[in-house]
Amino acid sequence: MKHLSHFSFWMLGILICQVSFAQQSYDPLALFNPFFYTHNGNVYRSADGSPGPQYWQNRADYEIHATLSEKDTTIRGEVTIRYRNNSPDSLGFLWLQLDQNLFSPDSRGAATTPVGGDRFDVKGFKRGGYHIHQVSITYHGKKQTVQPIISDTRMQIRLDQPIRPKGDSITIQVNYDFAIPEYGADRMGRLYTRNGVVYEIAQWYPRMEVYDDVMGWNTLPYMGLGEFYCEYGNFDYYITAPADMIVVGSGDLMNPEQVLTRTEIDRLQKARQSDSTIMIIREDEVGKPDTRPVHTGTLTWHFRMLNTRDVSWAASRAFIWDAARVNLPSGRKAIAMSAYPVESAGRDAYGRSTEYLKHSIEIYSKAYFEYPWNSAVSVAGVALGMEYPGIIFCRHDLHNGQLWDDITHEIGHNWFPMIVGSNERRYMWQDEGFNTFINEYSTRMFNHGEYYNANERLALYMAREMQREQDPLMTPPEAMSLNEYGLYYSKTALALDILRNWVLGPDRFDYAFRTYIQRWAFKHPQPEDFFRTMENAGGEDLGWFWKEWFYTTWTLDQAVDTVVYVNNNPAQGCYITISNLQQMALPVLIQIQESNGQSHFLQLPVEIWQRGGKWTFFYPTTSQVRSVVLDPDDQFPDVNRSNNQWPR
């Protein structure tokens, strides 16, 4: 249906002529008051939503050496972190994340998991958690061993000499090991297949907490649902694994000649030139000796990834491996790959995984921001769906549309939060919801809409969910009801749909949304940075919108009250009265059918509700009105659609 501008209303002769006030639950002053923002912009974060002239963020560069031991299913590693303090503050102590401690039997996450379990099922196991063997620091050339203070999933290093502000750096070295959980809170773990174990390895090294201009050190513990907030830097990492395994990981493989056969190297080169999927290791080659350059002992795989906030990897003897070229808008080429066991093979399953991955990256790169890295890989394993820079873990038993949905969602996270580095542990909607929103458009565009259902209406689903909603989207993940955290995804996506289609319009929204991504790529945006960018680049005061969608559990109920003809003569036009009965307010979409067969679609702006919950407007009919219907195409989450039409 056509979206009419405000100017078009006047061209149609629509005259807004009367407001009447009625006692109802809607309070316009609660929605449209001028006090949405509680502080002004500053030198770090400007009032228009952009990074300020003195914006800063710290940096962490990593070198990691880790060994996978199948005998006791452990990872043994050493991480060296070069941490640069770009802040204006002296730092007398450092905080690191120890995410594997979630799996210790006495972790906070285990203690707060419901007795019946949940999706993440964090209950710990006897061998769970990090064993930290030694921590040392090197500051201005002086190396010393330190005794860290470990509290659940955090580790503090107290310094004798503070790190100076504005560019001073320190090197931290940690020796550690941990046992790999079989089910790692739906983010990592072990999948047992007929040809061997698929190891999906994540949260596998101690890493820096973020120190920012908003909270200082961000030390919320890792408890399962709340995800991650990480500094950017360069990663060099080395994975030593049994020689008969294939290892895939974030970033570029730096030593293919040492870990791959000549045939595999040649096939990868062919895949880099092909838009169709090329097999690197075929199903009938899995486990065969000629797929490995050596057959005993171990091999060390060296990967490098630049300007990223994390890295992850997977290893198995069971992998089928395939790949194809990714074509990026600048003309640069990347490679998409998939690694999966024979149980996941087939045209209706992971046989199309690389195709899904390739096209998702190309769609998002063209629409929002070019994929900045050179490779991406999809791994079939135990995790339902989990994202890391350049690598995603998807459940091994998905097929067709389910697999497409999982892959396009998880690789979409490489834009939110891997490129636009929001704080997932505090604001889950800022990555999950944004990603769900862009997934709608990738699904519409992929293969002429192969998996797109034009008849689906997210608003109808959300109307039911919002009536039961208890916690607003600004609730931190660990405080959100386990029955409601799906709203981070769907409610946010619907909010952005409505903002794009019915408040700003596609052109203004798309420009503002891309501006937000470009401004905050590889930085740390807060919710207000998004809100302010959308308002300034989109040219609209949206405090009312952010309030009702993100800070409250308000619901929407629009209604048609009456249709009254001028002088009781339809040929002279009519007055139509509508109401806003609940506290949420939105523009009004109206379909008017006349008895002479004419049909008219109107959009009234949200500002009609600024003075009260009833609105009467004149419409120039020429015959009797057969029906008036609000939101005829089910775009809004109206909780009572029975009063959306006249006559009832």
Contacts of residue 555, defined as CB under 8 A and 6 or more positions apart, other chains included, come to: 463, 466, 467, 582, 583, 584, 637, 639
Distance CA 168, CA 164 (A): 5
Element (H, E) at 64: strand 59-69
pTM for this predicted structure: 0.94
Contact 258, 293 (CB under 8 A): yes
User: What's the pLDDT score for residue 118?
Assistant: 81
User: What's the pLDDT score for residue 124?
Assistant: 82
Report CA 139 to chain centroid distance, whole Å. Answer: 37
Which residue type sits at 337? M
Three-state secondary structure readout of 501-516: HHHHCHHHHHHHHHHH
- Other C-beta atoms lying within 10 Å of the C-beta of residue 568: 7
pLDDT < 70: residue spans in the chain: 1-24
Contacts of residue 149, defined as CB under 8 A and 6 or more positions apart, other chains included, come to: 155, 156, 157, 158
Per residue in 544-559, pLDDT (tens digit) is 999 999 999 999 999 9
DSSP letters for 121-187: -----TT-SEEEEEEEEEETTEEEEE--EEETTEEEEEEEEEEPTTTEEEEEEEEEEEEPPSB-TTS
Distance CA 469, CA 410 (A): 26
Distance CA 429, CA 241 (A): 37
- Other C-beta atoms lying within 10 Å of the C-beta of residue 348: 12
